[in-house]
Amino acid sequence: MEIGRPHSRLLLRLERFSDLSLDDRQRLFNLPLKVANYSADEEVVAHGDSSSRCTLVLSGFLCSHRTAAGSRRQITSFFVPGDVADLPSFYLPRVHFGIRALGPAVVAFMPHSSLREALDRSPALAQAFWRETLMQTTVLQEWIVNLGRRDAIARIAHVLCELAVRLQAVGLAREFSFSMSWTQMDVADASGISNVHANRIIQELRQLGLVEWDNKHVKIRDWDALARLGDFNDDYLKCPVTLREDRALCGQKA
């Protein structure tokens, strides 16, 4: 997997949904990135910290999480390569959720100061990031529905579907097959269930012939059935019309 060019990851990410000028691209490429490696379960940003940089995922997975009083950990979202995991830290003084590596991960840090400078000079870039944040709110709301109103098997199916689509979008899954360095415990913590129950549900998914899942590698054998089971519809991850399409639509109308 290509991590030699951290800036491209970011660029590709933003350009999926926003049109950037040459100048804007240049500005992104000029951001000083500092690459760092993390091993499984290592904390990248501690809960409660006030951070001076944003974290771009280059390889592996990060997650945002917190532990409720007297309960176990809850993962509130995960991040795949190309995602910026802690955009809120850019404008909010304190991070209210920890950022942690799910399996080994490679990240790049972008200093707030440089980012601020770039965004001050380019409203289009600021817009692109805002748009990312807005998409993030949609994903978070999906999770709320998932946790609030679906049973365990549907929850896990939904998480798997989201994972597959998001990985596919950045070229890290082919034919619904991808490597995933999560433990079953991570899956449980993302789905709001116990690890024991998660294990049983995963076995059920296997027995139903919906997924193969051995040793950090997942292959979805029956996408349609899994998506139906998880009440999953990928519109919310895809449909953001790019500015390009916006313009195309306008052009069509005119």
Which region among 55-63, 69-77, 100-108, 160-168 touches its own copies (by CB under 8 A)? Answer: 69-77
Residue 220: CB minimum distance to its own copies, A: 19
Q: Does residue 248 bind its own copies (CB under 8 A)?
A: no
Rounded Cα distance between 254 and 252, Å, is 6
Question: Of residues 36-55, which lie at the interface with DNA (CB under 7 A)?
Answer: 40-41
**Residue 114, binding choice from DNA, its own copies, none, Cβ under 5 to 8 Å by partner class:** none
In the chain, % helix, strand, coil (3-state, to 5) comes to: 45, 20, 30
Quick check: 94 binds its own copies (CB under 8 A)? yes
**Measured distance CA(3)–CA(14) in Å, rounded:** 17
42 Rama class: left (phi>0) / alpha (psi -120 to 50) / beta: beta
* Residues 135 to 164 in contact with DNA, rule: CB under 7 A: 151-153
How far is residue 6's CA from residue 227's CA, in Å, rounded to a whole number? Answer: 32
Pick one of 68, 224, 250, 251: the residue that binds its own copies (CB under 8 A): 68
CA dist 206 → 111, 218, 223, 248 (Å): 44, 11, 13, 44
Residue 93 in contact with its own copies, rule: CB under 8 A: yes
CB–CB of 49/103 below 8 Å?
no
Q: How many residues does the chain have?
A: 254
Q: Of 102 and 154, which CB lies nearer to its own copies in the complex structure?
A: 154
For residues 240 and 122, give the distance between their C-alpha atoms in angstroms, rounded to a whole number.
21
183 binds, among its own copies, DNA, none (CB under 5 to 8 A by kind): DNA
Of residues 5 and 217, the one with the C-beta less far from DNA: 217
Nearest by Cα to 81 from 119, 35, 122, 115: 35
Query: Binder to its own copies among 5, 72, 217, 247 (CB under 8 A)?
Result: 72
Q: Report yes or no: 140 and 84 within 8 Å, Cβ to Cβ.
A: no
How many chain residues interact with DNA (CB under 7 A)?
20
Instruction: Give the shortest CB-215-to-DNA separation in angstroms.
Output: 7
Least Å from the CB of residue 171 to DNA: 25
179 near DNA, judged by CB under 7 A: no
Applying CB under 8 A, among 12, 126, 152, 208 the residue interacting with its own copies is 126
Contacts with DNA, residue ranges (CB under 7 A) = 40-41, 71-72, 151-153, 183-185, 192-197, 199-200, 202-203
